A and B are shown apart, each in its own frame.
Chain A
Amino acid sequence: MSSDSKTGEIRMRGALRDALAEEMRRDENVFIMGEDVGVFQGAFKVTEGLLDEFGERRVRDTPISENTFVGAGVGAAMAGLRPVVELMTVNFSLLALDQIVNHAAAIPYMFNGHVRVPMVIRMPGGGGHQLGPTHSHSFEALYLQVPGLLVACPTTPADAKALLKAAIRDDNPVIFIEHESLYGMKGEVPEGDHILRFGEAAIRREGDDVTIIGILKMAHVAAGAADTLSSEHGIEAEVIDPRTLRPLDLDTILESVRKTNRAVIVEEGWPHGGVGANLSTLITEQAFDYLDAPVQRVTGADVPMPYSKRLEQAAMPHEENVIEAVLAATKGAR
């Protein structure tokens, strides 16, 4: 059904849509709800065409009541359905934080496994579109911190499709974070029913000199930086995309760091208590003896996202920031 498929490559939004449609065809218990997912076809057009195919029972437009429709998703999941709830941006997910943390994440544990919450909560985040301080943030670290949740951060159309299918089939509550800037990205998506298991990182580029870990859009920024480092500085970076933050494939990261002895972590979120802060601690705790330099972090600026294009760009990490961090980490090594 995807209009992109004739090009041989599919955009990220089409891949996500295909995953939703295929899972809904496969399992009658899967349904979608969220603001403007039906008639409007999705704020980012991820749910385009689904209302036509599946009808209003399974593609439900909700009122602007985030805490309540996420909570209703939790209840429906407890009663045996498999809801996929869409939040229009990660910033709006804060309105539903009570249901996500106090209920979705806690219920299976606090009721001792007598009930499960098999639901997916999708939300796009990230900056770059001048949407300012209430529509552009990156809350991976916030959700990563909550035991009971799984956190997915897909970076390619193929991964997005396979991870979303896995998330829908998984019996745990999944926070599925998409990046607004990646929706239009094209990539090959293998045909057929493919699942990407949670907790399996991808090594995007092999190298011996430094390990760069990038999440979401920063996986691509890291890869771009790695190319420049190779051509202009003779530094061969190994680039790792964790793909899921919970569970985290720490082994692949540690294995790489033990080989390269240097690590740089790139994320769009805030520095304090961020994904990089956490990962840097894990690397230091478990691979300290292998490190030849302090772990470097490249993060978004420690400010609410500004609107001005110039300031917004300054608040987001770019390839040159990654290159700088890598040069700092490798200083004196050559």
Chain B
Amino acid sequence: MAELPDRETCVELLSRMSLIRRFEEEAGRQYQRAKAGGFLHLAIGEEATIVGTTSAMRDDDYLIGTYRTHGHALARGTAAESVMAELFGKSGGTSGGRGGSMHIFDAEKRFMGGYGIVGGNLPLAAGFALASQYREEDTVTVCMFGDGASNTGNFGETMNLAALWSLPVVFLVENNLYGMGTGIERHSAVTDLSRKAEGYGISGERIDGMDVLEVRDRVAAHLEIVRNEGRPTLVEASNYRYRGHSAADPEIYRDKEEVEEWRQKDPIENFSKRLMEDGVLEESDIDAIRETADEIVIKAVEFADNSPEPSLESLYDELYVVGETMGWYAVDERSPEPHRGEYGKDAPALAKELAESGAEYSGDDEDEDQTRPGVRR
């Protein structure tokens, strides 16, 4: 059993895990109330893997995840308000409501995004690591992905590239035993995923993803290897999601006993129990931590509720950077005349103006016609 760190760290680990748990429960509730749309993938049960990992990382290390990353952002320190507002599709969200649940992003915290394409984030991770190596920085990229992603071509390609170029990446597969509704023994020829990159020269280690201290210790060791030896490694963290793949999952592929069995290994319950047994925290401390998480999440919902909807005028914002090399662009070439480009002849004055305004559609139509041809609603 891993040794307990100092009290402050223990409180921090428990607080982050509790926040994620509470946040995810609330996200599920808000989804039922149709406050959040689209797909919603909750990480309840996977908190130890997330928090154990981020707690071992440096602030300037890069983290990239999947479409199940509300918790990863929270663990990195992104405000719960912005994450909840993103789920609500509001302007106060991490991506101003452009990305949604699957695409949380926080450059400031070097949380380089959640991504909706399974396995699609692995090449990006190689790119962050390449940038670190190129600039001779000792930052490491932690790339988290699911067991399902280990079957994509990107997995093999990225392992090869990372090993070939000695890229500083810890690949961390969150093995929750299911690629959506397909069990691992039905989707992967090799079920010991820690060995799946051996053919590419990347050694791996299987760890208990339900034990926050083990995750923290082992990921810290891997970060050190990668940082000091300049080669990628692979970690397989076994964990489990209590909820379905998404909120729209009837869970016909697994039985209740299995879920119950994993609940006995609950990362928050077990860590709390140990902290009390070892006399680090009292029950009242744990209650206080839970209450704090509760307050943060309630505030987050309040914030998300009150955050304004993105304005319709912002539809084209941030699509392009309008700079010297591209003095203008047509926001929509099927717009009624006058064509944007005709003003564009006055660039670069216009370029400057457009750039300052985020290149947003200026609304030439007097009546702010939202049904003009060429704009799909």
Contacts and interface: CB of A to CB of B under 8 A. Distances in A.
Given A171-B321, A247-B329, A65 B160 contact: yes
B132 interface: yes
A69 B122 CA distance: 11
A75 B168 CA distance: 13
Contact of B127 (A72, A167, A170): A72
B321 A249 contact: no
Interface residue SS majority, chain B? loop
B117 interface: yes
B339 A63 contact: no
A75 B124 contact: yes
Given A63-B164, A111-B98, A114-B95, A75 B123 contact: yes
Contacts of A148: 319-320
B341 A115 contact: no
A75 B120 CA distance: 11
A68 B319 contact: no
B107 A76 contact: no
B125 interface: yes
Contact of A70 (B105, B123, B334): B123
B216 interface: no
Given A31-B134, A112-B96, A116-B321, A75 B125 contact: yes
A199 interface: yes
A110 interface: yes
Interface in B88-105: 94-96, 98-99, 103, 105
B342 interface: yes
A116 B326 CA distance: 15
A62 interface: yes
B234 interface: no
A33 B126 CA distance: 13
B330 A247 contact: yes
Contacts of A65: 157-158, 160-161
B345 interface: yes
Contact of B154 (A57, A68, A111): A68
A172 B322 CA distance: 9
Interface in B304-351: 317-321, 323-330, 333-334, 337, 339, 341-342, 344-345, 347
B329 A199 contact: yes
Interface in A59-74: 60, 62-63, 65, 67-74
Contacts of B342: 251
B153 interface: yes
A65 B158 CA distance: 8
B161 A63 contact: yes
A109 B117 CA distance: 16
A191 interface: no
B95 A73 contact: no
Interface stretch (A96-104, A179-187, A210-218, A222-230): A96-104
B23 interface: no
A68 B158 CA distance: 6
A81 B128 CA distance: 9
B113 A111 contact: yes
Contacts of B112: 75, 78, 115
A113 interface: yes
Interface string A77-106: 111110000000000000000110011000
Contacts of B43: none
A90 B316 CA distance: 28
B77 interface: no
A302 interface: no
A68 B105 contact: no
B130 interface: yes
A76 B123 contact: no
13 contacts: A68-B161, A72-B161, A76-B130, A98-B120, A102-B117, A111-B105, A112-B317, A114-B107, A148-B320, A170-B323, A170-B325, A250-B333, A250-B341
Closest 10 CB pairs of A and B: A75-B127, A71-B123, A113-B318, A79-B131, A68-B157, A65-B157, A75-B124, A171-B321, A112-B96, A72-B127
